[in-house]
């Protein structure tokens, strides 16, 4: 996916440090990349060891990839206290390592570790370290803020000074996020003369992370005028940005950040009624770019802060129905939503439940099923059992289910009761499940809020349930999820 996105280099890991990374490079021989160059990571040779005898450098060579990314020392503190070497030894380690990898036909990218700290303490020695790499044949010299603690103005100042000292040296930027400046520091390094940026998708990395490429790349092109990821129009080149981000989150078992710039669910979300109404008239009044440029979309959030305009716009978005914000039913639905939010509900991230409320007030809701009763049995193991009694189109069904935990067991039983009557629900599955203790009602008798995300392979929708019983709250969200799928399908059929 990174290759399809159009990046120039993909750093695959450290073959000497981790045998699994070496296995990765071997496996990648069966999957040639269309555009990107695969790179192996490592360090300069060890002190007192010739390059041809250094296991780390030879592991990079054995990875059999076109590019080597190696790091070396730029800070006297590290040279003297960590390596316990002289400065002359350090310069030799840098130059000889680059030359050795170049002699094996590899393109070398040199990462100047802790460069900004090194420059602040001893500018001439820090500059000498990167000059050694460049003179030895490094294709790019990357200035790394390895501790992630350099403020943005210092990154700009130092990068600009390096560029003035070595105008022909191709510079790169490698930023960590320890003070929350990784993206800003990357952008400022480019503004000061760097033309190679390193980062990760979603900013995932050690400690507090690295520069998030999903924010860096569109900002460089859309805000700063630099061409990235080839010459295609932004709407084409950034179309997969959100998809790549979601893939990485899923691969790592992480929940997507809804507040992520450009690609997050809330990046172009409008809650206040005034904002929602205005953005439809003049989008750029409240949106810094067209969401579609980065594969995202505008959404309208229904909540206690929303006005009738937000409800009307959300109905058009989710249900495809046109309403007038002056309709009494719209205002009644909004009042019910606000009352429920005072009880601990939150419809910001669960608009499907809000739309069910609206349909009921509009007289457009047709009851397809009703959960009459449920029972759950749990024990010392992970296995739970559930029995549900469900009214389905005039008939009462009794079904049982077994699952990993009570919520899963109820879901299994509920699906058995519904799918026979509504085969379209066979395509529906749960994508995510979250339990929250709402701050506003937190006490010894607190309620819990459960949000469930569903998909049918194409659409995605979220519902919410609130109760002092986490199982009951979960069941409310489950019922709303299946109900919304049926109501939405019914509205589509009416139009057809």
Q: Is the dihedral of CA 338, 339, 340, 343 positive or negative?
A: positive
Reported as a pLDDT band with limits 50, 70 and 90, residue 300 is: confident
d(CA 193, CA 27): 37
Q: Which of 40, 202, 26, 181 has the alpha carbon at shortest distance from 109?
A: 40
Q: Which of 147, 116, 115 is nearest to 129 (CA)?
A: 115
pLDDT at 302: 75
Q: How confident is the model at residue 382 (pLDDT cuts 50, 70, 90)?
A: confident
User: For position 3, what pLDDT does the model report?
Assistant: 93
Mean pLDDT, rounded, for 368-375: 96
pLDDT of residue 493: 76
In the predicted structure, residue 37 carries a pLDDT above the cut 90: yes
pLDDT(410) > 90: yes
CA distance 364 to 290: 33
Confidence of residue 324 (pLDDT cuts 50, 70, 90): confident
Q: What is the pLDDT of residues 263-280, one digit of tens each?
A: 998 899 887 666 667 787
Residue 304: predicted pLDDT: 60
Confidence of residue 444 (pLDDT cuts 50, 70, 90): low
Whether pLDDT at 347 is above 60: yes
- Percent of the chain residues past pLDDT 90, beyond the cut: 74
> Which is it for the CA torsion 287, 289, 294, 298, positive or negative?
positive
Of 480, 460, 348, 487, nearest in space to 411 by CA: 480
Kindly list the distances between the CA atom of residue 158 and the CA atoms of 69, 171, 219, 254, 376, in Å, as whole numbers in the listed order: 22, 12, 22, 36, 64
Instruction: Indicate the average pLDDT of the chain.
Output: 92
Average of per-residue pLDDT across 350-358 = 92
**pLDDT per residue as tens digits for the range 106-151:** 999 999 999 999 999 999 999 999 999 999 999 999 999 999 999 9
Per-residue pLDDT, averaged over 180-189, amounts to 99
Least confident of 279-283, 344-348, 380-384: 279-283
**What is the average per-residue pLDDT within 385-414?**
94
Which pLDDT value is given to residue 306? 59
Q: CA 336, CA 308: separation in Å to the nearest integer?
A: 12
- What are all long-range contacts of 364-373, with beta carbons under 8 Å and residues at least 24 apart? 364/321, 364/491, 365/487, 366/487, 366/490, 368/392, 368/393, 368/422, 368/483, 368/486, 368/487, 368/490, 369/393, 369/417, 369/418, 369/421, 369/422, 369/482, 369/483, 369/486, 371/414, 371/475, 371/479, 372/396
Domains of the chain: 2-198 (3.20.20.70), 269-362 (no CATH), 369-495 (3.30.160.270)
The mean pLDDT of 405-411, rounded to a whole number, is 94
Looking at residue 431, its pLDDT comes to 87
Please say if the pLDDT value at position 24 is more than 60: yes
pLDDT of residue 373: 95
- Check whether 441 has a pLDDT greater than 80: no
**Per-residue pLDDT, 439:** 60
Q: Is 80 exceeded by the pLDDT of residue 251? A: yes
Asked whether residue 496 carries a pLDDT value surpassing 70, the answer given is: no
- Residue 273 has a pLDDT of 60
Q: How confident is the model at residue 452 (pLDDT cuts 50, 70, 90)?
A: very high
């Amino acid at each position: 996916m990174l290759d399809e996105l159009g990046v120039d280099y993909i750093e695959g890991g450290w073959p000497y440090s981790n045998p699994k990374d070496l296995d990765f490079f071997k496996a990648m021989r069966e999957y040639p990349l269309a555009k990107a160059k695969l790179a192996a990571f490592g360090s300069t040779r060890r002190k007192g060891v010739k390059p041809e005898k250094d296991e780390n450098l030879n592991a990079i060579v054995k990875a059999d990839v076109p590019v080597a990314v190696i790091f070396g020392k730029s800070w006297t503190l590290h040279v003297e206290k960590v390596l316990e070497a002289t400065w002359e030894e350090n310069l030799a380690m840098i130059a000889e390592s680059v030359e050795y990898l170049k002699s094996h036909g590899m393109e070398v990218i040199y990462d100047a570790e802790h460069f900004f700290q090194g420059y602040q303490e001893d500018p001439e020695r820090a500059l000498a370290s990167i000059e050694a790499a460049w003179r030895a044949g490094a294709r790019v010299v990357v200035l790394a803020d390895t501790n992630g603690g350099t403020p943005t103005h210092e990154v700009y100042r130092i990068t600009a000074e390096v560029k003035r000292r070595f105008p022909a040296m191709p510079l790169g930027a490698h930023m960590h996020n320890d003070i929350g400046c990784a993206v800003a520091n990357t952008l400022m390094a480019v503004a000061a003369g760097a033309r190679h940026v390193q980062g990760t998708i979603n900013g995932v990395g050690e400690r507090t992370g690295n520069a998030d490429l999903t924010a860096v790349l569109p900002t460089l092109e859309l805000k700063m005028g630099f061409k990235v990821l080839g010459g295609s129009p932004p709407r084409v080149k950034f179309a997969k940005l959100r998809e790549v981000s979601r893939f990485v989150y899923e691969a790592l078992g992480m929940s997507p950040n809804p507040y992520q710039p450009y690609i997050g669910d809330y990046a172009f979300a409008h809650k206040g009624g005034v904002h929602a109404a205005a953005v439809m008239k003049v989008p750029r009044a409240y949106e810094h770019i067209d969401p579609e440029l980065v594969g995202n979309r505008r959404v309208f959030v229904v909540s206690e802060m929303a006005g009738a305009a937000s409800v009307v716009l959300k109905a058009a978005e989710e249900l495809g129905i046109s309403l007038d914000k002056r309709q009494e039913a719209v205002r009644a639905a909004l009042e019910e939503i606000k009352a429920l939010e005072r009880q601990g509900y939150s419809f910001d991230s669960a608009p499907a439940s809000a739309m069910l409320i609206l349909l009921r007030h509009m007289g457009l809701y047709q009851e397809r099923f009703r959960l009459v009763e449920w029972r759950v049995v749990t024990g010392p193991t992970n296995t739970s059992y559930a029995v549900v009694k469900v009214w389905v189109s005039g008939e009462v069904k009794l079904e049982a289910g077994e699952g990993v935990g009570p919520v899963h067991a109820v879901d299994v039983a509920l699906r058995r009761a519904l799918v026979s009557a509504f085969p379209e629900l066979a395509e529906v599955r749960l994508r995510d499940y979250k339990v929250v203790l709402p701050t506003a009602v937190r006490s010894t008798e607190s309620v819990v809020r459960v949000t469930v995300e569903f998909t049918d392979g194409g659409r995605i929708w979220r519902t919410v349930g609130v109760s002092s019983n986490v199982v009951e709250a979960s069941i409310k969200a489950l019922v709303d999820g299946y109900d919304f799928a049926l109501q939405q399908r019914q509205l589509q059929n009416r139009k057809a």
